[in-house]
Amino acid sequence: MKLFDPLKIGGMTIPNRIMVPAMVTHLCKEDGVVTQDTIDRYVRYAAGGAGLIVVEAMAIHQVKSGPLLRIRDDNYIPGLRELTQKVHATSDSKIVPQIIHFLKVARSGWRQTADMLSLAEIDQIVEQFGDAVRRAREAGFDGAELHSAHAYTLSSFLSRANPRTDEYGGDSLEGRLRLIGRVMENVRRKAGWDFPVGVRINAEEFIKDGYTVVDSKHIAVRLAELGADYISLSAGGKFEDAVHTPGQVLFPYNGYSGDRCMPGDWLPRALHAGIAAEVKAHLLSRGHRVPVAVAGKLDAPRDAERVVAGGMADIVGIARGLLADPDWPIKVRSGEADRIVQCDYCNVCKALDGTHRTVICALWPQGSIQAPADDPAVQAPKWAQAEASLTAIPNQSRVELKWPKAAGAATYQVYRADEQGDPQMIDAVKVTFWVDSGVLGGHTYRYFVRPCAATGTPGQRSTTATVKVPAPSYMAAA
Amino acid sequence: MKLFDPLKIGGMTIPNRIMVPAMVTHLCKEDGVVTQDTIDRYVRYAAGGAGLIVVEAMAIHQVKSGPLLRIRDDNYIPGLRELTQKVHATSDSKIVPQIIHFLKVARSGWRQTADMLSLAEIDQIVEQFGDAVRRAREAGFDGAELHSAHAYTLSSFLSRANPRTDEYGGDSLEGRLRLIGRVMENVRRKAGWDFPVGVRINAEEFIKDGYTVVDSKHIAVRLAELGADYISLSAGGKFEDAVHTPGQVLFPYNGYSGDRCMPGDWLPRALHAGIAAEVKAHLLSRGHRVPVAVAGKLDAPRDAERVVAGGMADIVGIARGLLADPDWPIKVRSGEADRIVQCDYCNVCKALDGTHRTVICALWPQGSIQAPADDPAVQAPKWAQAEASLTAIPNQSRVELKWPKAAGAATYQVYRADEQGDPQMIDAVKVTFWVDSGVLGGHTYRYFVRPCAATGTPGQRSTTATVKVPAPSYMAAA
């Protein structure tokens, strides 16, 4: 698979095209220092074989913001160095920190916007980025990624909704690009041209008046000209359409743009691959061979391979899929994709992030704060009887499924196919029942359930239950 | 071109694949009766050669709603009959009305939602749709289109955000489909199976928690099963993210979903073609050959042809492009695409709709409420001098363009190309200057201007101005 070809990114070579995009963990404390739990989380990804691990965003400035990592002064270097050493001791995965500056938010719903920053404050941000990347280098990271996506400062300047009227906005593309340009220049000066620096941007903002691929093609060209060693594409995740919960600070992932950024189960797979392909094609047409990464429901191995092999992007970011199963790369490479603990896009992880709690995957065993280690000795779950009988009962526009318990099952994957389709996993649950409210009356569906051990090892599938959902009465005439 | 192949839609055959989607005109009065201006607008599309003309939404119920057409009782039939007769006397274009029910809105920003309707009210809506389509048949329309897209009643029931908890919602796909299903059944019973009935739906809602192509594939299958003669795909245009202007009723096209529905110049061309292709492919995979229409910035002839020839959809809807130039079909067919009055997506038409004023195109001559008739005698605009000199001056992240007046020019089309690109029309204006705020410093751009008569006939292009935009100072190091 092309997915497992190494790739040179500036001075570093990643062993494969699989990236862990930055994901908040809340595994550190208010002081923002790396903890053993933080280290355990990233070492787990390294053990699983990810090519590039982007460590959750770490702040370059002094600001109250809960349990988020910091890189704002040299005191943070020892903790970060321990993290990089442990990851490097584990595998050939490369590790970079995501470097972030964000503006202030208040529980009232108020938020600081780009136009509230003085020129002196902007100058300070420029210096802080350079200093932070220099610290990343000293801490042993293989490179760094500047966070210029979602709801954060660099992105707010890049935004088509940037409200500034001076040279950092003023309704011109160059104005919007000025801050990231100055930041890159400062980063290079302080951390060196030979230190790989990537930039993450939104391929589209997905907000009213926000920019689209029409602009992001040009933004990507500028980043290439600035010497970015990779360009990572995300989308949405903006404050502009966030829904304010009284008493909470705004969470930029709960509006429509948040749906696009961390898509739930009702959004399509590989939903930003097409936009990435447009950006990639534009870069190539302008002579820029800078690697492009893209994320967004790419955890199906065939989607990931299609994106890389088809040249839509060079690297696939798989966030929730690798949270659910850090061994995804090893399992895909060794032909054991059927042992992957598959993300069902329930977004419990997103809800935990939104309420500042430790981010875990709902598919992990109860109480775990890390994915269970793969263990060859783990037995496949076993049904009590030779054949596990799945019952499927149509009931008022829904189909109710029930099945027996299987010994050693941590989760049950529910599969469905309609008359012409292949079975697709439509959910993964810890209980022994499920209700399908997405069926069409008059159609026949086949279901089966697969019990899975915590490490993903599947047991035998249940019997297949075939059910014809009654057509609604108004269809009699059709 | 495949675009000019006829297509059988139920009992009617459209002469080509070009559709005028429903566009509000505000050319009638508060009473909702067809006026001469209404007739003139649609006869103009017929003269221009559109294959299928969908007349602006007409209401099936008694409700205060400004200058919008009605079909709510038999008294409206004579006016509508005059409209269909005049259109049929003009060309072989087919004409169908868009049939709409909408819920109440108030200037306070309050709006009636789907869950406020009693079962008796729902029953009444079902009957009203059937009666309205029966009237459409009596009025001489070639078919009818049910409006189940955007912010209106049928769409609000189909929505993934449908708040009802009974059999018309209840978080199930079948519940959401129940109203449109009952409506189709009633329409068939009252207007006959042989009367072509299409349905317009959103391919995606583009709102928080809204449905995506994951659901619209299934919705399309159900519509096919209900015997829909065509399925027209639109997107967005919802109340849920509309921005309330104090003292005005909500306008469902001014939020992000409105940007997607009537995309401005910063959104990509052909922006919903990919989603339509997914729906079309799903329908075919399930054995349904029902024609699919799609709209969304498809006015570039090569995009329109690509969509049809590539099987992404069977019919292309071109709303603003045909508003700007109703002769688009004739001009494309006769190889005179360079005479098209090209929409520049300035969305003045959208703003007029949003403020309940007569919808015109800003490219039409001042004071016109209809597109000017094409006139072979119209002279191409002429520059005063043999060569019209375009000046392009880079100025603080922008390029300022100026050119002389041309005699007989109604508009000037501004074209731009970067080093590697082909010239693209980036705007069309009535003045003789333009500012480009979308350039990248360090790049060279070529510009020229084409003067156009009101009928689109172009004069000679201006000289080409080539300008290198200075690179920003921070790029010196790059």
Using an 8 Å Cβ cutoff, are A379 and A47 in contact?
Answer: no
Report the SS3 class of residue A202: strand
CB proximity under 8 Å: A 149-208 to B: 160, 167, 170-175, 177-178, 181-182, 184-185, 188-189, 206-208
| Best mutation target, B256, B418, B475, to test chain A (most A CBs within 10 A) | B256
B406 inside domain: yes
| Alpha carbon distance B260, B409 (integer Å) | 32
The answer to whether position A367 is within a domain reads no
Same domain for B285 and B431, yes or no, is: no
Angle between helices A119-138 and A173-191 (to 10 degrees): 40
Element (H, E) at B383: strand B382-383
Residues of chain A with C-beta less than 8 angstroms from the C-beta of B185: 474-475, 477-478
Range 322-341 of A in CB contact (< 8 A) with B? none
Range of the domain at A194: 7-354
Kindly report the pTM of this predicted structure: 0.97
* Same domain (yes/no): A121, A190: yes
Using CB atoms within 10 A of its CB, is residue A248 exposed (0-12), middle (13-18) or buried (19+)? middle
Instruction: Give the domain CATH number at B237.
Output: 3.20.20.70
How close A32 gets to chain B, by Cα (Å)? 32
Longest dimension (CA), chain A: 75
- Residue A70 DSSP one-character state: B
ipTM: 0.96
A261 in Cβ contact with A235 (< 8 Å):
yes
Question: Which residue bears the tokens 């503006």?
Answer: A103
Answer yes or no: do A329 and A438 share one domain: no
Question: Which chain B residue lies closest to A237 (C-alpha atoms)?
Answer: B208
Q: DSSP letters along A150-166, please? A: TTSHHHHHHSTT----S
Contact A221 B440 (CB under 8 A): yes
CA distance B316 to chain A (A): 21
At residue B112, the pLDDT reads: 97
Q: B396 and B347 in one domain? A: no
H or E segment and range at residue A197: strand A197-204
CA separation for the pair A411, B222 (Å, rounded):
33
In a domain, residue A377? The reply is: no
Q: State residue A382's pLDDT score.
A: 96
The reply to whether A293 and A392 lie within a common domain is no
For A395-464, the three-class secondary structure string (H helix, E strand, C coil) is ECCEEEEECCCEECCCEEEEEEEECCCCCEEEEEECCCEEEECCCCCCCEEEEEEEEECCCCCECCCCCC
Can you read off the two tokens belonging to residue A123? 């100058």
Among residues A336, A354, A372, the one where a domain terminates is: A354
Residue A385, both tokens: 């009887």
Same domain assignment for residues A343 and A404:
no
Which amino acid is located at B457 in the chain?
A: T
Beta-carbon count within 10 A of B45 CB? 29
Cα–Cα distance list, A381 to A338, A464, B210, B228 (Å):
14, 18, 37, 48
Polymer length in residues for chain B: 478
Which helix (H) or strand (E) is A352 found in, with range? helix A348-354
Identify whether B361 is part of a domain.
no
Listed in sequence order, the DSSP H helices in A139-202 are: 153-158, 173-191
Domain final residue pick, A354, A370, A391: A354
| Chain A interface, best mutation among B212, B251, B439, by max A CB count within 10 A | B212
B174 and A440 in contact by Cβ < 8 A? yes
Q: Shortest CB distance from A185 goes to which of B160, B257, B477?
A: B477
DSSP helix, strand, coil percent of chain A (3-state; round to 5): 30, 20, 50
Are both B94 and B242 inside the same structural domain? yes
Q: What is the pLDDT of residue A361?
A: 98
pLDDT at B220: 98
Q: Which of A173, A256, A440 minimises the CB distance to B173?
A: A440
The answer to whether position A20 is within a domain reads: yes
* pLDDT at residue B396, rounded to an integer: 77
Identify the three-state secondary structure at position A280: helix
- C-alpha torsion sign, points A296, A299, A302, A307: positive
Closest CA to A323 of A48, A85, A125: A48
Answer yes or no: do A327 and A438 share one domain: no
User: B337 by DSSP, 3-state: which?
Assistant: helix
Please tell me which residue of chain A has the smallest CA distance to B420: A286
Q: Please, are residues A328 and A321 in contact by the beta-carbon 8 Å criterion?
A: yes
pLDDT at A219: 98
| CB of B256 less than 8 A from some CB of A | yes
Residues B320 and B390 in one domain: no
Asked whether residue A1 is domain-assigned, the answer is no
Walk along chain A (478 residues) and give the pLDDT tens digit of each residue: 999 999 999 999 999 999 999 999 999 999 999 999 999 999 999 999 999 999 999 999 998 878 999 999 999 999 999 999 999 999 999 999 999 999 999 999 999 999 999 999 999 999 999 999 999 999 999 999 999 999 999 999 999 999 999 999 989 999 999 999 999 999 999 999 999 999 999 999 999 999 999 999 999 999 999 999 999 999 999 999 999 999 999 999 999 999 999 999 999 999 999 999 999 999 999 999 999 999 999 999 999 999 999 999 999 999 999 999 999 999 999 999 999 999 999 999 999 999 999 999 999 999 999 999 998 888 999 999 988 999 999 987 999 999 999 999 999 999 999 988 899 999 999 999 999 999 999 999 999 999 999 999 999 999 999 999 999 999 875 5
* Total number of domains constituting chain A: 2
Q: Are residues B441 and B331 in the same domain?
A: no
In a domain, A366, yes or no: no
Segment A390-396 long-range contacts (CB within 8 Å, at least 24 positions apart): A390/A447, A390/A448, A390/A449, A390/A462, A390/A463, A390/A464, A390/A465, A391/A465, A392/A445, A392/A447, A392/A465, A392/A466, A392/A467, A393/A467, A394/A439, A394/A467, A394/A468, A394/A469, A394/A470, A396/B167, A396/B172
pLDDT of residue A297: 98
What CATH number corresponds to the domain at position B392? 2.60.40.10
A406-407 and A382-383 beta bridge pairing: antiparallel
- Looking at the complex, does the CB of residue B268 fall below 8 Å from at least one CB of chain A? yes
User: Which tokens hold the place of B49?
Assistant: 């050669």
Q: Chain B residues with CB inside 8 Å of A287's CB?
A: 420
Residue where one domain finishes, among candidates A354, A373, A398: A354
All residue ranges of chain B with pLDDT < 50 are none
Cβ under 8 Å to A: B residues 272-311: 274, 278, 285-287
Whole-number pLDDT of residue B477: 52
Residue B165 lies in a domain: yes
Residues A330, A423 share a domain: no
Judge if A419 and A329 occupy the same domain.
Answer: no
Q: Is B242 on the interface with A (CB under 8 A)?
A: no
State whether B222 and A268 contact (CB < 8 Å): no
**Chain A nearest CA to B423, separation (Å):** 15
CA proximity to B2, closest of B278, B328, B340, B316 = B316
Give the minimum alpha-carbon distance from A464 to chain B in angstroms, rounded to a whole number.
22
Query: What are the start-end ranges of the H helices in B192-319?
Result: 213-225, 256-261, 273-285, 301-309
